[in-house]
Structure 1
Amino acid sequence: MKVMIISWIAFISIWSFASMGYDKAQAKRKGRRVPEKNLWLLAIVGGGIGAYLGMMTFNHKTRHTAFRIGFLLLAAIYIGLIIYLLGFDLLGTEKA
């Protein structure tokens, strides 16, 4: 189950990253854009890491405070979930 969840996060993050890059390219070309609600949906369902990395890599949506903060928080949540699922003990507590 852990592998499936981590794989899902990786897959959706790649999709989110690509969507941010595509949307940025379309914005430059004045083409058909990816709706913001789709970018948010991808980030919420597991792509927060890719969405944040895409935002920073492509310098896209960085002026929107909601995107900067929201994608960063979602990325942190999914990184924390991956760390938890992999069983890393960052606090040094013993597991029973």
Structure 2
Amino acid sequence: MILTIADKHKAVKGKYRISEDMLLTIALIGGAAAEYITMKCIRHKTQHKKFMIGLPLMILLQIALIILVLYISKL
């Protein structure tokens, strides 16, 4: 979330940007929902297919992993 806002700010100022790979990596390790919400709120990266498709897929994957962990822990 903070990185997405920082990247948007840097984009507006024309400064060195945070790489898309870094933003996607942070999303993959657990920040996909926050990044997706932030992205939509500040209208950043909304034209990039890898964000518009990739982040929702990551969210679904993270939900599935949470459900799996909860299921396994009840065994």
Q: TM-score range by the shorter chain?
A: 0.7 to 0.9
What TM-score, normalized by structure 1, do the two folds share? Answer: 0.64
Aligned AA (2:50): A
Aligned AA (1:57): C
1:1-96 matched pairs, under 5 angstroms: 17-82=1-66, 84=67
Aligned AA (2:33): I
**Unpaired segments of 5 or more residues in structure 2?**
none
CA distance in 2, matches of 1:45, 1:38: 11
What TM-score, normalized by structure 2, do the two folds share? Answer: 0.79
Q: 1:33 to 1:78 in 2, by over 3 A?
A: same
CA distance in 2, matches of 1:47, 1:28: 23
Tell me the percent identity.
Answer: 33
Give 4+ residue runs of structure 1 displaced > 6 Å after superposition: none
1:10 aligns to what?
none
Tell me the alpha carbon deviations over residues 11-52 of structure 1, each in whole angstroms, 9 at most, x when there is no partner: xxxxxx111111011100111210111001101111111121
**Unpaired segments of 5 or more residues in structure 1?**
1-16, 88-94
